[in-house]
Amino acid sequence: MKSETKLTPLFLALAFSISWVFMFGMVLLDLNINSPITLLFSTLSVLGPGIAALIMLLKKMSFKEYLKYIFTFEQRFSYYAIFVVWAVWRYLLCMMVGVRVEGSSLILPLIMIPVCILTGGNEELGWRFLQTQMEKKMHSVLAALIYTVIWALWHLPLWFVPWDWRNTVFDFFIFLGLSLTNAFSLAAIFKLTNSVLLCVLAHAWMNAVFQTFSHAGDLKGIVGFCIEAIIGMIILILCDKGIIKSAKTRI
């Protein structure tokens, strides 16, 4: 139990250290967006959470078991239908309140999924490990609130990179608010399905849609994202109370 208690701070130390080296490296080296080194640093920077979780998990499972943890799907088909409904909702919400990037296609998010998995979605290999560890010690809603702050702080160096898409689309405090919605949505998806892979796809979809529709941040957007956050929070509460069956964690 004592070793379990140490997992969360150790994970955070590794995740932040690995990612921030490359994030701040892009800032200090003043890398141009078209530089091959920029592509390398940008890709490596998002691997921090996943690498940190892998190091933690290989202490308690084999690599084969780790791959099963990532790729195994559980629970009933209806829960995956919920994921599809959420994905459509997020797309329509962003389309209604945002401004489509000039020259982009309405199907651009689908095309961008592979790239967004490599440049953001794979963070979930680490963040779902963090969710599992935190929920062993506290209520799921409180864990999601704390995770929101951690997630936002982890991204903070990117606001010093002038060309990063988050920096050009969001004010940091707007991003913090959106992180709250994303935290509840991803936590709910994982709680229902115990599928890390599904969370990877969800995170990639979020990024792809955000890059297709530049947000105006008006009242409609705020209301829509608040509704999504509330639904995610309700699902977490109902799962914790046993009213909705949650998938059994494997770590």
pLDDT at 75 over 70: no
Q: Is residue 16 part of a domain?
A: no
Q: Is the pLDDT of residue 165 over 80?
A: no
State pTM to two decimals. Answer: 0.91
pLDDT at 1: 46
Residue 26 lies in a domain: no
Closest CA to 143 of 6, 248, 8, 14: 8
The more confidently predicted of residues 15 and 82 is: 15
How many CB atoms within 10 Å of residue 37? 12
Looking at residue 73, what is its pLDDT?
A: 63
* Count of structural domains within the chain: 1
Question: pLDDT band at residue 201, thresholds of 50, 70 and 90?
Answer: very high
Residue 111 lies in a domain: yes
User: Which residue range is the domain that position 174 belongs to?
Assistant: 74-240
